[in-house]
Amino acid sequence: MNNETKIIKCEEAIRMMLEFLDNELHQHDHDSMEDHLESCRSCYSRMEFEQRLKGMVQKVNTDEASVALNQRIKKIIKGY
């Protein structure tokens, strides 16, 4: 464990989980989370689950703009 990181309990790890996955935690909290996840199977499983679900939400946008929309945009730019 890094000497400067704080030991955190599961409750705190769960509270910080989503911000950890979003890479939005301060470095010291991020390090504390990493240390906790290395030693807590339950929180690690939770993190894996949340990460996978986040990835599924991320991939939801596979829709493509139609040919009609492409033409409409070209027309807007041309006429502007």
Partner 1 sequence: MPATHFLEYASLSVTMVAQGAMKTSNRTYFEENIESCLDRLYGAALRMTRNTSDAEDLVAETVTRGLDKIDSLKDCKQFIHWLLRIMTNYFISECRKAEKRTRHESYTGEYGEEEAAFSLFEQLHQPFLLWWGTPEQDFLNKTLKEDITRAMDALAEKYRVVVVLSDIEGMTYQEVADTIGCPIGTVRSRLARARSLLQKTLWMHGKKRDLLEEQGFHHE
The binding site for partner 1 (CB under 8 A) comprises 18-19, 22, 24, 41-42, 45-46, 48-50, 52-54, 56-66, 68-70, 72-73, 76-77, 80
Q: Which is nearer to partner 1, 34 or 55 (CB)?
A: 55
| Cβ atoms of residues 27 and 2 within 8 Å | no
Q: Which residue has the tokens 């509270």?
A: 15
Nearer to partner 1, 35 or 46 (CB): 46
- The burial class, CB within 10 Å (0-12 / 13-18 / 19+), for 57 is exposed
Measured from the CB of residue 33, what is the shortest distance to partner 1 in angstroms?
16
